[in-house]
Amino acid sequence: MSYRRCGFRYEKKLRITGVSRIAGIDEAGRGALAGPVVAAAAILPEKFRHRRLNDSKQLAPELREEIYCALISNPEIRWTVGIVDSIEIDRINILRASHRAMRLAIETLLEPPDHVLIDGLPVIPFPLPQTAIIDGDCISLSIAAASVIAKVTRDRIMRDFCGQFPQYCFSQHKGYGTELHLLKLHEFGPCPIHRRSFEPVAQPLLALDEIVQIRPSPARRARREISVPIPQA
């Protein structure tokens, strides 16, 4: 995907119509094999500026942490997270769990927004007017802020889980279907935070074989985590 600078063009269009409180929403962990799915909602001030804020997947981990700290410490930014654990993901499926996490994030804001910008496809049902934007985390600063908050929050959760289940090396792959994770899963079997409804959890060697066959180039691997396909909702 080519780089596009995030901005406020969607937010500005809404403000022209009289909408003032606009929240961006994004989630992290939908494609992982273990751990929760985390959604964040962020309401940025109209005059907010940040030269390096972008889709969290395009940011180096150190920069992502730096931006996260700047966002959550800014008193003018309103933000919350919604978390749905692996048990609930297995019970209702990952798509519904992702949508539930998004609704939880919105419901816990002290003042609800007038309109929501959502990364990806529309969320139905949803309690507020929404605009769904494909690749929204690369286009809208509000969604990009939510993307960073969701990603860093989930990464920290997975590092904490690494302390409880060190044999799986969760701090290295954050629960995604990397070669290391699949090898550990084959060796030790699933632990309490694995998503047992995901086929790679039940057949890690088959998933590992698929990864080896479609192994990306080193440059591509450096840009993003390798993950395996997830079941369709």
Distance from C-alpha of 51 to C-alpha of 63, rounded to nearest angstrom: 12
Nearest to 50 by CA among 113, 115, 142: 142
Q: What is the pLDDT of residues 167-200, one digit of tens each?
A: 999 999 999 999 999 999 999 999 999 999 999 9
Dihedral angle, C-alpha 216, 222, 228, 229, nearest 10 °: -90
Tokens of 5: 């600078």
Considering the entire predicted model, what is its pTM? 0.88
Strand partners, 27: 39
Q: How confident is the model at residue 210 (pLDDT cuts 50, 70, 90)?
A: confident
